[in-house]
Structure 1
């Protein structure tokens, strides 16, 4: 009996040691090969199958027959472990190894062979293997036992099936040997499943932390992202920063900054003078405490940024391991949003104009008519008052006209004409206005200008509004310059004055409806100009410096079809 238990203990130690250590040794060897030949990598489950195959042979060779004709060997444990962890092909190979080895040493009766094959086939069913691989540790142990227990019962009972035990009485020692044999197999198999799962989890964790996931390999991917990304550890030291953050977001403060200059340094030192330091430091401190601050808008000089600061959570432990900041330059998007708001305001103005025009104009016409009748019957001493009232009525009518112009969202009727012709038609009117103010007008018309598709009436209104704004901004002896140029596929019209210039805060709101700096202004003149330019598929820009004057630049597209060119009339100056 003592010899029997020694054999059992020896089997447990041998196959347990093999299954415990051989996969790890192979994995270490494969890691060395992996650096040179990535195509020779074996999966961890294949290592288990190899260890199980060797264990089956050793267990059968070291098995012993008890005094009660019970063959004691634990080769069935590595058999089912290999079948359930491996593929169908590897499971079939292990089954052949087990049956062949057992048959060569002990010989197998036909009935026992058939029963063994049935149990092995059961364990190789796709449903069993799939549930085993996807289950938890406890579920895997249960699936293993569902195949292992019937097979072990068959081992201890196959002698009875063969008729050899009939000559012996079933005594407690025989039952004890059989029960202990099964308990050892079940306990040890459960322990091995637990060990395999723990090591598989550890290897998966090591794979995530392998050189493939190192900072050096992740950096190229981060550099492809068109956002500024910076990551810090729990101590506030920078552990990663992508190319966009280093080059685009910090070029104003440090034009020659490189990644090595900031990675590994404390965040408060690296950000000094580069960005809104206090803003980021405060948010990152919150992120290290688990508080997210997504989607905040930050203005830095003339640029606008959207920032989001988030805690980094470790996948395995669930604890905070650092923080990451994402910074996006949304300056252009902010400008587009402002322009969209302007368009919405213009649309609102147009809707208002369409609704109130007739309701206001008709009563005003009646009032003006009766005022003229009253003026004829009143003494001359009241003419001054009548004139003031009618001027204000005319001013109100002018505002209504501007409303109507802004309300014209339909496509303007255009015709092929020369911009110079429109300018020359307006020249006498502009000269008269400038002469009354003691100012001069200078024309600088470009050569070989093409015809454009224009609405002459709207273009006259545009040029007249810009020129009169320029004259009002200048004092006596000021000069208004009207210049045209052909630049690529665009004709550009410049209206430049020598006035006092426009402050930056006013410049940003220049085209807003109802915004004006004049005492009697309506705030619709420049909004009307923008509306005209947009209907001609053009753009309008303003450049101004306080004390140095202002220039409005109108860009109009040239048609792609052949154009008729016109030579300019000699540049003229009106004084």
Structure 2
């Protein structure tokens, strides 16, 4: 008989062991309740079929073990179905009327406790499930075997103490089997939970890796990763733009020095090797294709106490910052010029006015053969006064009064003066006006000075039969003035310093004319650009923003 009992124990544990095998992959968790319900239902019927009677008349039946397991892990619907099967099977086994009352009492007492426990311990509360399993398994075993107590008492009269011991032993076996099943079921759930957590962590890791990869590849910085041997392991898209037509596969797993060679960089020191040898961080300034890069070499370490595992190279394009720095330097020089002009102009002009007056007086009283000398002195005094006026104009940092004016009308007013100057040089003036230009706010006096300065610069840069072209254009967001000449042009290295005070390409120039032009344009919310080709000529492009529009 004990062999049949052992078979029942195996049958009672069979759903859990099947569950351990089946519940091995995360994608199967959605059908767990269905699998538990079917497995426990079959095991419960098999326990009924293989139930046995011990020699003393005690029924050894573990049908309530799969019933409890299925109810605790299958959920409320499975518990209802298993209870129905349990009751139907038990009805076929009843032989006495009082057994109906015991079954009814079981349903009334045990079912609510079980269903409330299912809702209370839903999830993975192992301790709560152990407690309710011990109580219900013990009570169900005692009540089930108690239903056969009269029959056992008739088979073994006078052995009441032995029957009670056997009854308790069978109940403890059912409790042990139940706890064993719950233990293995919890292990399965914990394992699948760890797998799910690992899967979630893995997915988050991959997602973050993709985001980091996209950030690195789309970053406006040059990013290069190298291993401990100086071999490239990763380059981003920004870096590849400087090594075209080479692709990523042509650069990966190649020495970092090869990348520098492809970019046309002649490094004075091997910073990569210095970082690999122990230095944490090195910085350099590199020039690539006319742009300035601030570069950083950083060591990569998995553990702070260990050696360098690789090097991270980052290059930041600081060309615009360098241009801004140069612009600030230029503005500081302009400010210095203004301070100088403000402090010395009046002190110089007053004695010059006195000197000019006495020179004129001496010129009137001198012989005619000496008057040419006095005229040279007067011309030089006028030239010095003109330079002082340029200093004053450049030093002015005031808000000029502007009113809406027509740029074409201003050019027409200046045309006779420009023509007269051009005729003296044997040159031609070509005026091309866009009749649709809008009115722009301007100070007519300063604007005339701007046009005359640019025109005279153009005429001075040309020889005889040169052509000076003045053009206007009505753009969508600006009114544009172009002053072009057919002179010798300006070399590229001089274009960058063209608007600096005291920088000039003329033999007798002061270097203040174009600086004054730039100051006027900026006071009119405009921009000035220069396009020049050596041997063909130069074009100054002045753009004035239209009212209500701002260009970036």
TM-score w.r.t. the length of structure 2 is: 0.61
1:220 aligns with 2:214: yes
Checking the alignment, whether the CA contact within 8 Å between 1:484 and 1:493 is kept in structure 2 is yes
Checking the alignment, whether the CA contact within 8 Å between 1:437 and 1:476 is kept in structure 2 is yes
| Residue in structure 1 matched with residue 524 of structure 2 by the alignment | 536
1:265 aligns with 2:259: no
Pick one of 359, 367, 372 that aligns with 1:371.
359
What is the CA distance between 1:283 and its match in structure 2? Answer: 1.4
The structure with the largest alpha-carbon Rg is 2
Pick one of 396, 417, 422 that aligns with 2:410.
422
| Residue in structure 1 matched with residue 231 of structure 2 by the alignment | 237
Determine the C-alpha separation between the residues in 2 that align with 1:543 and 1:451. 26
What is the CA distance between 1:295 and its match in structure 2? Answer: 4.3
Correspondences of 1:133-282 after superposition (within 5 Å): 212=206, 218-247=212-241, 250=242, 253-255=243-245, 257-276=246-265, 278=267, 282=270
| Residue in structure 1 matched with residue 433 of structure 2 by the alignment | 445
What is the CA distance between 1:342 and its match in structure 2? Answer: 1.5
| Residue in structure 1 matched with residue 326 of structure 2 by the alignment | 338
Cα offsets for 1:134-178 (capped at 9, x unmatched): xxxxxxxxxxxxxxxxxxxxxxxxxxxxxxxxxxxxxxxxxxxxx
Pick one of 271, 279, 290 that aligns with 2:278.
290
Change (3 A) 1:309 1:394: same
Determine the C-alpha separation between the residues in 2 that align with 1:316 and 1:403. 61
SS in 1 for 2:500: coil
Checking the alignment, whether the CA contact within 8 Å between 2:432 and 2:472 is kept in structure 1 is yes
What is the CA distance between 1:33 and its match in structure 2? Answer: 5.6
Determine the C-alpha separation between the residues in 1 that align with 2:217 and 2:327. 31
Pick one of 300, 308, 332 that aligns with 2:296.
308
Cα offsets for 1:174-229 (capped at 9, x unmatched): xxxxxxxxxxxxxxxxxxxxxxxxxxxxxx9xx99x96499767422322432111
Correspondences of 1:48-59 after superposition (within 5 Å): none
Checking the alignment, whether the CA contact within 8 Å between 1:283 and 1:293 is kept in structure 2 is no
Pick one of 369, 373, 380 that aligns with 1:392.
380
| Structure 1: stretches of 5+ with no match in the other structure | 1-25, 38-91, 102-203, 562-575
Determine the C-alpha separation between the residues in 1 that align with 2:207 and 2:543. 52
SS in 2 for 1:496: strand
Checking the alignment, whether the CA contact within 8 Å between 1:230 and 1:326 is kept in structure 2 is yes
Pick one of 369, 381, 385 that aligns with 2:369.
381
Change (3 A) 1:213 1:320: farther
1:329 aligns with 2:317: yes
Change (3 A) 1:295 1:364: farther
Checking the alignment, whether the CA contact within 8 Å between 1:485 and 1:492 is kept in structure 2 is yes
Cα offsets for 1:232-271 (capped at 9, x unmatched): 0111111122222223xx1xx414x443332222223344
Determine the C-alpha separation between the residues in 1 that align with 2:388 and 2:502. 13
Determine the C-alpha separation between the residues in 1 that align with 2:428 and 2:420. 10
Change (3 A) 1:290 1:216: farther
SS in 2 for 1:514: coil
What is the CA distance between 1:409 and its match in structure 2? Answer: 1.2
Determine the C-alpha separation between the residues in 1 that align with 2:275 and 2:438. 60
Pick one of 469, 483, 492 that aligns with 1:495.
483
| Residue in structure 2 matched with residue 76 of structure 1 by the alignment | none
Correspondences of 1:81-120 after superposition (within 5 Å): none
1:557 aligns with 2:551: no
Checking the alignment, whether the CA contact within 8 Å between 2:300 and 2:309 is kept in structure 1 is yes
What is the CA distance between 1:413 and its match in structure 2? Answer: 0.6
| Residue in structure 2 matched with residue 157 of structure 1 by the alignment | none
| Residue in structure 2 matched with residue 479 of structure 1 by the alignment | 467
| Residue in structure 2 matched with residue 456 of structure 1 by the alignment | 444
What is the CA distance between 1:427 and its match in structure 2? Answer: 0.6
Change (3 A) 1:323 1:33: farther
Determine the C-alpha separation between the residues in 1 that align with 2:212 and 2:250. 18
Determine the C-alpha separation between the residues in 2 that align with 1:292 and 1:376. 82
Cα offsets for 1:408-451 (capped at 9, x unmatched): 21121101110011101111111011001000000111131111
Checking the alignment, whether the CA contact within 8 Å between 2:298 and 2:311 is kept in structure 1 is yes
TM-score w.r.t. the length of structure 1 is: 0.59
Change (3 A) 1:272 1:381: same
Change (3 A) 1:436 1:357: same
What is the CA distance between 1:376 and its match in structure 2? Answer: 2.2
What is the CA distance between 1:507 and its match in structure 2? Answer: 1.0
SS in 2 for 1:272: helix
Determine the C-alpha separation between the residues in 2 that align with 1:464 and 1:317. 71
Checking the alignment, whether the CA contact within 8 Å between 2:281 and 2:299 is kept in structure 1 is no
What is the CA distance between 1:318 and its match in structure 2? Answer: 2.9
Determine the C-alpha separation between the residues in 2 that align with 1:492 and 1:357. 35
SS in 1 for 2:486: coil
| Structure 2: stretches of 5+ with no match in the other structure | 1-19, 30-124, 135-197
What is the CA distance between 1:354 and its match in structure 2? Answer: 1.5
Checking the alignment, whether the CA contact within 8 Å between 1:211 and 1:217 is kept in structure 2 is no
Determine the C-alpha separation between the residues in 2 that align with 1:293 and 1:420. 60
What is the CA distance between 1:275 and its match in structure 2? Answer: 4.3
Change (3 A) 1:560 1:469: same
